[in-house]
Chains A and B, each alone.
Chain A
């Protein structure tokens, strides 16, 4: 009897703690911005007192969580297509928070840097160029001594926004790639091995001589992995840096910011760059959501567009949003309503 009472008391205490605690915000989605979001949200908790939890469950699962209304916001590296928007229970808006890029990493003993054109890149990942001493590589890099070494392609085994961005670029620059493999978070690779996550790919590349693969920029910048210079649309060979990644966002962006920045025509842009977005419902009164909860969500996202958060982004190797995009993002935030009335002024 005594034990039962104790148990019931415990449940009561847990419940009370539950209902009186301050509203926590929770979000789920892309793993790409995970280090940035974790750090930014930690900072936000310190300054505002609002607790924010973010889970890197994957863009797809994040969107599903938003669709099931079990989180305050979702996060995705790929914006929703019109069809996907229609499939959501209510209209959603996309707010970009930063950009990142996909870099091409390689392991060639003795070689520090190489240049790649889009055509050669496509042929390597399609398995047409099988050896490092291939003539096409030599012609773009006359000063590099390529060994007679087989090329091992490494790709992401898990579905990811990184793969999506990479294949989106390849689709844009090669009709053959577009028809044979297309773009997506997972594709039917013709050659190579799959490794899990950025660390898996980077680790495999560093342990396999002659390997080449694609990695998220935040990862390669932090680990200082040798990456290739890629030729962009303007014809220049560009090294991936925070500046060149940001530059890709300086072209024309649609009002709702739903655009893939790959193959940007800005002169100094790194060709495989892209935004990452936070997604929320346009009308915030759903599922008995309180105005306070909606306000808290919007305040958080607004803060992410401000200088403090954007500085954090570049500190941890994510590219800041160009000023024009910040303006557009803030405008989008101010269209989000509660019972029809905009929440933020």
Chain B
């Protein structure tokens, strides 16, 4: 066996780790959800009840699915223009200047802030601000959580994008400039097509981060078990109901929470697949 083959086997073996982890995860989640699934069946997905009262427990995931999707998609919509601009700022327009260095470091710092701090900052600073400018009467809700989520995921959306934009060979850009292209045209026709793969990957990672975020959203979404009717209504998300009730749950409630965890896994898969499909179509 020559060294090439050995390396190939090592690489393949490493990839099995992902299967191992996700397999263990799915196995444990399915095992834990069985009692709840046996009790509620598929109705769990469309039921909007969440009643932990002993003696007539009724659980359903619909409210949380809605809350999760609303907040995460809103977060991505808000974050993309911000992240995209910051990437271009750092990696293209002001590339290699001190200012770009400072800005990129500042943005990367955002990734290190614990989510509880985001929640607290949102609670003490953002929420009163939203109440003051009259958008909502108590400041909790989908919009506030979505906004905090957007800020939280910006470093994920910019980091990889910056790298891919900066790694585009200069010759390609110089060729376009020499043909008389403006900066915008170079960005649109040279940089974007080449960096598209990396940028998409970073947005998917950012979206994944938003879907799974717990503490920050929990502190700003109002935690009311109702279907969100507007941008400023309160609601609840899958990750935050799990985080909120997990420590104190047992029996059927615990099983339902685990089933919600499993659902989150499934929904993330579906949305990622849809996203990748859309991007392929536009290629």
Contacts and interface: CB of A to CB of B under 8 A. Distances in A.
| Touch A–B, Cβ below 8 Å | yes
Contacts of B254: 60
Interface string A305-332: 0000000000000000000000000000
B198 interface: no
Given A84-B250, A159-B245, A196-B218, A182 B223 contact: no
A170 B187 CA distance: 64
A195 interface: yes
Given A188-B225, A193-B222, A193-B234, A59 B53 contact: no
22 contacts: A59-B248, A60-B249, A61-B248, A157-B218, A158-B244, A159-B248, A159-B249, A184-B54, A185-B52, A186-B244, A186-B245, A186-B253, A188-B50, A188-B53, A189-B224, A195-B223, A196-B119, A196-B223, A200-B123, A203-B123, A207-B127, A207-B128
A181 B53 contact: yes
Nearest to B116: A196
B199 interface: no
Contact of A196 (B244, B249, B253): B244
Contact of B248 (A152, A183, A186): A186
Interface residues of A, number: 33
Contact of A57 (B127, B138, B234, B247): B247
A58 B247 contact: yes
Contacts of B54: 182-184
Q: Is chain A's interface secondary structure helix, strand, loop, or mixed overall?
A: loop
Given A194-B222, A194-B224, A195-B219, A182 B247 contact: no
Nearest to B215: A196
A58 B54 CA distance: 19
A230 interface: no
A160 B248 contact: yes
Interface in B208-260: 215, 218-219, 222-225, 234, 240, 243-250, 253-254
Interface of B: 50-55, 119, 123-124, 127-128, 138, 140, 215, 218-219, 222-225, 234, 240, 243-250, 253-254
A181 B55 CA distance: 11
Nearest to A180: B53
Contact of A184 (B52, B215, B224): B52
Interface string A50-92: 0000000111110110000000000000000000100000000
Most buried by B among A57, A181, A185: A185
A188 B51 contact: yes
Given A158-B244, A159-B244, A207-B128, A182 B53 contact: yes
A208 interface: yes
Contacts of A189: 224-225
B218 A185 contact: no
A144 interface: no
